[in-house]
Amino acid sequence: MSALLEAKNIAYSVPERGSSVFGSRKKTVLQDVSLHVAERETLGIVGSSGSGKSTLSRILTGLIRPEKGKILFQGQDLRDANRQVRKDIRPSIQMIFQDPQGALDPRQTVRQIVKEPLHQMALSNDEKERRVLEALADVALPQDAADRYPRMFSGGQRQRIAIARALVTRPSVIVADEAVSALDVSTQAVVLNLLLDLQKRHGLSYIFVSHDLAVIRHISHRVAVLDEGKIVETGPTLSVMDHPQHAATQDLIDASL
Amino acid sequence: MTACLSVRDLSVLASAKPILHPISFTVSPGETVAVTGESGSGKSTLARALMGLLPNGFKTCGQIIFEGKDLTTLPESAFRDLRGCRIAMVFQEPMTALNPIRRIGKQISDTLRLHGAVPSRDIAPHVQQLLDRVGLRRAGVSAQAYPHALSGGQRQRVLLAMAIACKPALLIADEFTTALDSRTQAEMMDLVKELAVEHEMGVLMISHDLGVIRRQAQRVLVLQQGYLVESNETEQLFDAPRHPYTRALLSMSLHGTSHPPLTRIPVPTDVSKGVQR
Amino acid sequence: MTLHRAPKSLLAGSVLLLGCLIPATIVWIWHGGHAPFIDIPNRYAPPSLTHPLGTDPFGRDLASYVLTGAFNTTAIAVLSVALATVIGTILGLVGANGGKRGWAVMSAADLGLAFPPILIAAMLVTAQGASATGEILAIALFGIPAQIRITKQAAQSILVLDYISAARMAGFGSVAVTIRHVLPNIAPILIVHASTSLALAILSEAGLSYLGLGAPPPQPDLGRALASYQIHIFDHPFLVAAPGVTVMVLVLGFNLLGDGLRDLLERPFARNEESLS
């Protein structure tokens, strides 16, 4: 299986707290992180808070530029690619965020929210409109949802809107950062089912980032364990869970039950 | 053993609309009772009713007996003396509960001074003792630190130190560990458990996380849309749930029950509709 | 929006302001923006049907004088607040976006906050003589640093949210993100701040012209009226009371309006927190 999205030797650091504009010490967030996800595959990234998993997901989606290393999409280095190619590739990688409150602009209608990622794509307005309705149907939201505001929806429905926004560009990879962590048990189950359905229906790849081992175990084919900015263990989900090789993995397993 | 908290037919009305239907339960010293349910189940309403912190326009009926007094009829001034002293609380969001511009040692000693729990010359050593007890000294956190310099888990430990400062008889923890990652969560839960035994303190834990509850509580109350649908021993609840809603919740949870990976989780269609009693 | 749902303070503020500013506008247009006619033989006339508040030392109708003054004061306040809001908001947004430019803006704002407004006004008057323009600039300059800080703080709380990240992923640049997402979401805060700034601007205007730093005579002005008639406080109390009460009504009106707008505009966001359980 060839890699669809690949990260090679990613490093990232931030200025240490308390350092000034003049001369600053750096704190390492990620160190030599390499991973890949194949077509129709789910890679779970698990780690406790402060392990750097949020930063990693933002680097994978291009929101943050890594200090070292590169991101390859279908073998193509995004940094070397020219503007046009980048513009073409960008819609193929989408993201679902954690916070159901902060992920949707309260002053925009669902239609405006879901349409936003199509902004730079060369599509007619009719086509964009069609895509929006299609994405809403994909996540089983009623058509009349389009003209309502996020506050009129429950937490689970808001997360569906966020998923519809990620689907509207017909991406091949979706990075989900703690996408179900803030949801109730039943809503979590419904959203996880939806994500599994969508993967089958559209042949999606997921990079699923979470601190919750139970969620990662349920949805991932392969798992990478992130600890203090480094990947300490990676492999098929069940073999990592059943035969952890690293102390950090064992800690996470112990904590989850 | 006498109960440290005994709730009898407590109900809460919001502008004449019932949001919590009559509920009765007791919490014994040293025991942890969990209240669970999904959003809208009334579990936070229950917590706030017990602490007398319901917003204006909310009305409670029934009795909340704590140390021989009915809290529902207690004047606000007497309630204020109880809160933070005999009944302590910890919340989900540690940053809003801590004063950002006061050192944590000062904030803990403020609590001690406010309730006159220890003579003033003993306050400083007592603060050190508390910091030690919640594991902050071991982590190298000094009483001189400001809240922003601490991690989420460490802030929760500060809150816990403040909560147990006066050796309360009852601790109410409202989604206390929800914002923490699972490893820190586990550490915090073990700590609360130890403290409960040590101080013979009853713990009422509000949580939507069945994994946390299974680990922590001796008994569980399951709320659904304002109704108490099941009250059971934790082991029994997880092994042989009595109410269909509890069964549905357990079947959907990824914690404790094992679903084959990468398959749909069975979601009962009636789970979010109406209450079955 | 139905009237009974509007906050009481909003209604009270609107009534005060409209009750003062509608007659003020009519009188201002009636006199073509000038002071009422001088009628020396008729000076210090007591209240009568033709002169409801009597006349001033120049025989001018006091009611018309005060109303025209109210119009002028409000106009100067509105123009200076508009200027401060536009400039302060743009600079605040630049500050919120960070980088070297943002740092420079915020440092300048901090420096600006350290300057006493009276000093700014005195400098401007020395530079170009007392005038309404100088007054507008002085009050605006006074308001800009605060406006920058408020805008920056509000914008920063929006910029960390995930929908901003989503917009960036869609290919929007900083300016587009600011216009699409940040401005609409901080608008309520800016509107409320503008409204309470108007109250402060009215006070500043009255204060500056009381000190002789405002528009020169014969332009009717409330602050100057107070300064020149204060010696008549015992023999002709209306001369002092009329401009004084007018300033008070305007300040109170804008403050109440600001409070009401805050309740009204920030309510949709509060609603989420209100939902208990």
**Is the CB of residue C185 less than 8 Å away from at least one CB of chain A?**
yes
pLDDT interval class at B219 (50, 70, 90): very high
Q: What's the CATH architecture for C76-267?
A: Orthogonal Bundle (1.10)
C180, pLDDT greater than 70: yes
B121, pLDDT greater than 90: no
Residue B138 amino acid letter: R
Q: What is the mean pLDDT of residues B222-239?
A: 93
Cβ of C276 within 8 Å of Cβ of B43? The answer is no
Residue range B148-195, pLDDT digits in tens: 888 888 888 999 999 998 889 999 998 888 777 777 888 888 899 999
CB atoms within 10 A of CB C6: 14
Q: Which of B254, B259, B263, B273 to mutate to test the interface with A (most CBs of A within 10 A)?
A: B254
Q: What is the DSSP string of C8-65?
A: HHHHHHHHHHHHHHHHHHHHHHHTTTSPPPP-GGGTTPPP-SSSTT-B-TTS-BHHHH
Percent of chain B whose pLDDT exceeds 90: 33
User: How many Å lie between the alpha carbon of B182 and the closest alpha carbon of chain A?
Assistant: 6
**Is the CB of residue A16 less than 8 Å away from at least one CB of chain B?**
no
To 10 degrees, what angle do helices C132-159 and C99-113 make? 130
pLDDT interval class at C70 (50, 70, 90): confident
CA–CA distance, A178 with A95 (Å, rounded to integer) = 11
How large is the ipTM? Answer: 0.88
Chain A residues within 8 A of B188 when measuring between CB atoms: none
Chain A residues within 8 A of C181 when measuring between CB atoms: 105, 107-108
Query: Hey, what are A63's tokens?
Result: 């929101």
**Is the CB of residue B77 less than 8 Å away from at least one CB of chain A?**
no
Beta strands at B202-206 and B32-36: parallel, antiparallel or unpaired: parallel
Average pLDDT over chain B, rounded to an integer:
86
Counting DSSP H helices and E strands in chain C, the numbers are 11, 0
Residue range A101-137, pLDDT digits in tens: 789 999 999 999 999 999 888 899 999 999 999 999 9
Residue range C102-127, pLDDT digits in tens: 888 888 888 877 777 677 777 777 77
pLDDT interval class at A24 (50, 70, 90): low
Residue range C32-62, pLDDT digits in tens: 777 777 777 777 777 777 777 777 777 677 7
The pLDDT, as a whole number, for residue A150 is 92
Helix intervals (H) in chain B: 43-51, 76-82, 94-97, 104-114, 123-133, 152-164, 182-198, 210-216, 234-239, 244-252
Nearest CA in chain B to A213: B182
CB atoms within 10 A of CB A7: 22
Residue B273 amino acid letter: K
C166, pLDDT greater than 80: yes
**Closest partner residue to C185 among A87, A106, A120, by Cβ?**
A106
CATH match for A3-17+28-256 among 3.30.930.10, 3.40.50.2000, 3.40.50.300, 1.10.275.10: 3.40.50.300
pLDDT interval class at B271 (50, 70, 90): low
Q: Which of C165, C186, C275 to mutate to test the interface with A (most CBs of A within 10 A)?
A: C165
CA–CA distance, A213 with A16 (Å, rounded to integer) = 30
CA–CA distance, C264 with B118 (Å, rounded to integer) = 47
Cβ of B185 within 8 Å of Cβ of A255? The answer is yes
Diameter of chain B by CA atoms? 62
Sort A203 into a burial class: Cβ within 10 Å, 0-12 / 13-18 / 19+: exposed
CA–CA distance, C120 with C142 (Å, rounded to integer) = 8
Q: Which residues of A173-200 are buried (b: 16+ CB within 10 A; e: fewer)?
A: bbbbbbbbbbbbbbbbbbbbbbbbebbe
User: In this predicted structure, which of A83-92, B94-103, C172-181 has the lowest mean pLDDT?
Assistant: B94-103
**Is the CB of residue B244 less than 8 Å away from at least one CB of chain A?**
no
To 10 degrees, what angle do helices C132-159 and C117-128 make? 140
User: How many Å lie between the alpha carbon of C87 and the closest alpha carbon of chain A?
Assistant: 24
Segment holding B228, helix H or strand E: strand B227-233
What is the layout of strands, in order, in the sheet containing A3-15?
A26-38, A3-15, A68-73, A76-77
Q: C7 by DSSP, 3-state: which?
A: coil
pLDDT interval class at B277 (50, 70, 90): very low
pLDDT interval class at C98 (50, 70, 90): confident
**Is the CB of residue C161 less than 8 Å away from at least one CB of chain A?**
yes
**Residues in chain B, total:** 277
**Closest partner residue to A116 among C166, C268, C272, by Cβ?**
C166
If contacts are CB pairs under 8 Å, which of residues 215-274 in chain C contact chain B?
274
